[in-house]
């Protein structure tokens, strides 16, 4: 049996925990990709599995226009662009970094990018082969390293 004070503490704590665990699932994930790109589909599967998210796919023959519309810096561009909860996710960003972005919501960050198509990044798996790469945060706060992978 719980005391009234313990119940007053537990109820809000449980509600906050429930809200955090469903925040990533509640967001709308829209990925823009060239109709001929297969790695984009593999990356979308990574996000679906890693975040238990529904990813809507929009085909675009003019990905440069999509990237321009969402202000993806030229030096950070990759093959696909996803919009989630107001953030831009460019390229093969790991699901864990997207979750961290959505949880932390750092000030001045408009999005995350993995420039190019590094081997071993989500969607670019090629057996045991890997290349080191960085996830870059970009926005009003400038450009900075969000995470690194070896």
For 62, phi then psi, to 5°, come to -125, 75
Is residue 6 in a domain? no
pTM: 0.82
Is residue 93 in a domain? yes
Is residue 87 in a domain? yes
pLDDT score for 11? 46
Domain coverage including residue 128: 27-149
The CATH number for 46's domain is 3.40.30.10
Is residue 32 in a domain? yes
User: How crowded is residue 44: how many other Cβ atoms within 10 Å of its Cβ?
Assistant: 21
Residue 93: closest CA among 34, 31, 21: 31
Is residue 19 in a domain? no
When the pLDDT of each residue in the chain is averaged and rounded to a whole number, the result is 87
Of the chain, the percentage scoring pLDDT greater than 90 comes to: 79
| Domain count within the chain | 1
State the pairing for strand pair 29-33/142-149.
Answer: unpaired
């Amino acid at each position: 049996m719980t005391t009234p004070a313990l119940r007053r503490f537990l109820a809000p704590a449980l509600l906050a925990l429930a809200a955090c665990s469903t925040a990533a699932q509640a967001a709308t994930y829209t990925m823009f990709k060239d109709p001929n790109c297969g790695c984009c589909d593999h990356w979308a599967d990574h996000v679906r599995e890693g975040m238990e998210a529904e990813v809507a796919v929009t085909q675009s023959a003019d990905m440069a226009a999509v990237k321009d519309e969402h202000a993806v810096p030229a030096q950070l561009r990759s093959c696909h662009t996803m919009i989630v909860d107001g953030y831009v996710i460019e390229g093969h960003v790991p699901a864990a970094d997207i979750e961290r972005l959505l949880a932390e919501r750092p000030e001045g960050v408009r999005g995350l990018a993995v420039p190019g198509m590094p081997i071993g990044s989500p969607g670019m798996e090629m057996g045991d082969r890997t290349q080191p790469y960085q996830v870059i945060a970009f926005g009003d706060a400038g450009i900075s390293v969000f995470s690194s992978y070896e």
